[in-house]
Every structure is written in structure tokens, then in C-alpha cells.
């Protein structure tokens, strides 16, 4: 297939390395010419994914039209807040019937839409939309360390094409028809990862982390089901899998944000020191508003929102969580 990856951050670069090592010709679009020249010379994106060499069959360009025209499959690897703008830029160049694979994990900040909905509103020429998600830190995928992922689409054929494209001895891909659940799992786990980082920054222990992950999964699932997702999707790679790795890994930017907040840093100084985007910050605002809109109880998300945007002290937020009214663990397993 004729394939382009739009966006040369860590994830876009890692996916280029993944496909390149499979022997596939792939084009990588970069916004910045200075970065393009550095990667072309060194075959390495030292700014976003140091230590990973790109095979020679990866072609670099900063001409967006050239990267899009004639392609049968496009991978959107730009931050969630840039998806709408980039789709507007490529819509007039994209082939009818092309497959668009979104790999960003977030929600549209102003409308709270899922990113596949944003893409579908901007690109209307019969393209199929798929979402790739899972426990996939770029730092490991680019080095061909084995992992698994899930691809979701409303069309089975599109999901299977993407599955075949990315499947390898070190990257196993499953399909799932629940695109709503897969997208929400990828976005909402970043909010819980900030809470997990806060636990570490505050000096709490393994018990606290386990409780945050477990109860975080419960509220992710509640909102997902309210928005039309299937609950079982959150037991899979985009739910339990991605949540676990993002809450516990040193590679996690969202966990890092929480860690620094727990240590007393403010949000502005944390984000200004980061080279890459922590999607969970914007996702927290969206998730909080969605919880109000759908009347879903999401106490961890609420307290992360209060810390990020209302200036609540993390230790006060912790007391708020622990002091809530007692309740059952699972509504369907309550005593009669």
C-alpha cells in the first residue's frame, strides 16, 4: 500500500520505524524543515525519539500535499488538539476511499467529541476511519520491543487492513468493532495516569496506586457505557492494558505531570519544561464536562480537574476522595 504518516513526534516516528522494518515504503510528513534536515542526515529523530534509526525506505517530506496525494492509507500522528486543523488541510488532497488511521489519544477540547468524529466531520469523501490504541509507548515500539495493540473501525474490512499492515513478530494487533470504547479508553486513561503520578509525588504507596487504577477503570467504563461504548472493551488493551502502562511507566508524560504536581510544582512550570504534549491535561477538562453532561459519577476525574484547573491542593483532593459517602463496589453486585 501507499502509506504516509502525518506527524513526526515520538509516536509517528516509532510507527515509521515499525513499518520500515517490515520492508514497507512509507512517507513521513514533518511540519518543520529544520527537523526534516536533521533526520535526513542522521536517520534519527533525536528531538522526539532518540536512539531509534529509521530504515532507508522511510521517505521524509515537509510538503503536506505530496504526503497525502495518491495514498491509500494515512496515519494521523499529530496531537489531539491539531487533528481538526490538519484534517482541514489534507481534505482536498486525500484520495476517495482512503483509510485514515488515527493514533492520537484524546478528545476535542471545545466540543468534547471523539477524534474519529472530528475527522469524519472534516473529511467527507468516503474515507474509512480507524483508530489504533493500546499499551504502546513509542520508546519501546520504535526499538521493536514486543507489545500488542487494538484497531477499531465501524467497517470490519478497514480494521482488518490496518491489522494486516501493522502486524509483525513484535507488534501484535487485534480488531474491535467498538470504536467509541477504544477511543474513550485511550483518552480517559490519561486522566487517571495524572492521578497515579500524583500518588507517587505525594509519597503514597502501592496500595494507593492499585486503588487508583482499579477505581479509575470503573469510572472510565461508566462514562464509556453512558456514551454508547461496550463495557467489555475497557477490559482489553485500550482499557486495562493502556491504563496500567500509562499509570506505572516512567515513559508516561501524563504520569509525569501528576508526579510533579504532587511534588508541589504548578502546572505552568511543568508544561513549559516538557517537549511533548501530555494529552491528559486537556482530556481532564473534557472528561469532567462529559461526566456532568451524562450524569456519571467520576470522583477521581473530578479531583484531578480540581487540582489542574481549580487550584485545589492535591492533599485536600486526596482527603475529598477518601471521605466520600460510602457505597457498593459494583452496582450489579450490591446486597439486596
Average pLDDT, the chain: 95
What percentage of the chain reaches a pLDDT higher than 70?
A: 100
**What does the block give as the cell for 102?**
488515527
Whole-model pTM? 0.94
Is it the case that residue 274 has pLDDT exceeding 90? Answer: no
Q: What pLDDT, in 10s, does the model give residues 89-101?
A: 999 999 999 999 9
Q: What was the pLDDT predicted at 105?
A: 94
Active site residues: 189
Domains of the chain, first to last? 3-177 (3.40.50.720), 180-333 (1.10.1040.10)
Q: What pLDDT, in 10s, does the model give residues 223-250?
A: 999 999 999 999 999 999 999 999 999 9
Q: What was the pLDDT predicted at 161?
A: 97
Which SS3 state, helix, strand or coil, does residue 71 take?
Answer: coil
Q: What pLDDT, in 10s, does the model give residues 121-142?
A: 999 888 999 999 999 999 999 9
Q: What was the pLDDT predicted at 277?
A: 75
Q: What pLDDT, in 10s, does the model give residues 287-299?
A: 999 999 999 999 9
The whole-number average pLDDT for the span 23-48 is 94
E-only strand ranges, the chain:
3-6, 26-29, 58-61, 73-76, 99-102, 128-133, 147-153, 171-176
The whole-number average pLDDT for the span 106-125 is 93
Is it the case that residue 71 has pLDDT exceeding 90? Answer: yes
Amino acid at each position: 500500500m501507499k502509506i504516509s504518516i502525518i506527524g513526526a513526534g515520538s509516536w509517528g516516528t516509532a510507527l515509521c520505524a515499525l513499518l520500515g522494518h517490515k520492508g514497507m515504503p512509507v512517507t513521513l510528513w514533518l511540519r518543520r524543515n529544520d527537523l526534516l534536515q536533521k533526520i535526513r542526515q542522521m536517520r534519527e529523530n533525536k528531538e522526539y525519539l532518540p536512539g531509534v534509526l529509521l530504515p532507508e525506505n522511510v521517505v521524509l517530506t515537509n510538503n503536506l500535499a505530496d504526503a497525502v496525494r495518491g495514498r491509500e492509507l494515512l496515519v494521523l500522528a499529530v496531537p489531539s488538539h491539531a487533528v481538526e486543523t490538519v484534517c482541514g488541510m489534507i481534505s482536498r488532497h486525500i484520495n476517495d476511499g482512503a483509510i485514515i488511521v488515527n493514533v492520537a489519544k484524546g478528545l476535542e477540547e471545545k466540543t468534547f467529541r471523539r477524534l474519529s468524529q472530528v475527522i469524519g466531520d472534516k473529511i467527507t469523501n468516503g474515507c474509512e476511519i480507524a483508530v489504533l490504541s493500546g499499551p504502546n509507548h513509542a520508546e519501546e515500539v520504535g526499538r521493536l520491543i514486543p507489545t500488542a495493540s487494538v484497531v477499531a473501525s465501524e467497517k470490519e474490512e478497514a480494521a482488518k487492513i490496518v491489522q494486516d499492515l501493522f502486524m509483525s513478530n513484535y507488534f501484535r494487533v487485534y480488531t474491535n468493532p467498538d470504536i467509541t470504547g477504544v477511543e474513550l479508553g485511550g483518552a480517559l486513561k490519561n486522566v487517571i495516569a495524572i492521578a497515579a503520578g500524583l500518588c507517587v509525588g505525594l509519597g503514597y504507596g502501592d496500595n494507593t496506586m492499585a486503588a487508583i487504577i482499579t477505581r479509575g477503570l470503573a469510572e472510565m467504563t461508566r462514562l464509556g457505557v453512558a456514551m454508547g461504548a461496550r463495557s467489555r472493551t475497557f477490559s482489553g488493551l485500550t482499557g486495562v492494558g493502556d491504563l496500567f502502562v500509562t499509570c506505572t511507566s516512567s515513559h508516561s508524560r501524563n504520569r509525569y505531570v501528576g508526579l510533579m504536581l504532587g511534588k508541589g510544582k504548578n502546572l505552568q512550570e511543568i508544561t513549559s519544561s516538557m517537549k511533548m504534549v501530555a494529552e491528559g491535561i486537556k482530556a481532564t477538562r473534557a472528561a469532567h464536562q462529559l461526566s456532568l453532561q451524562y450524569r456519571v459519577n467520576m470522583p477521581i476525574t473530578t479531583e484531578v480537574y480540581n487540582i489542574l484547573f481549580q487550584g485545589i491542593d492535591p492533599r485536600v483532593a486526596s482527603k475529598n476522595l477518601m471521605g466520600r459517602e460510602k457505597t457498593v463496589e459494583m452496582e450489579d453486585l450490591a446486597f439486596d
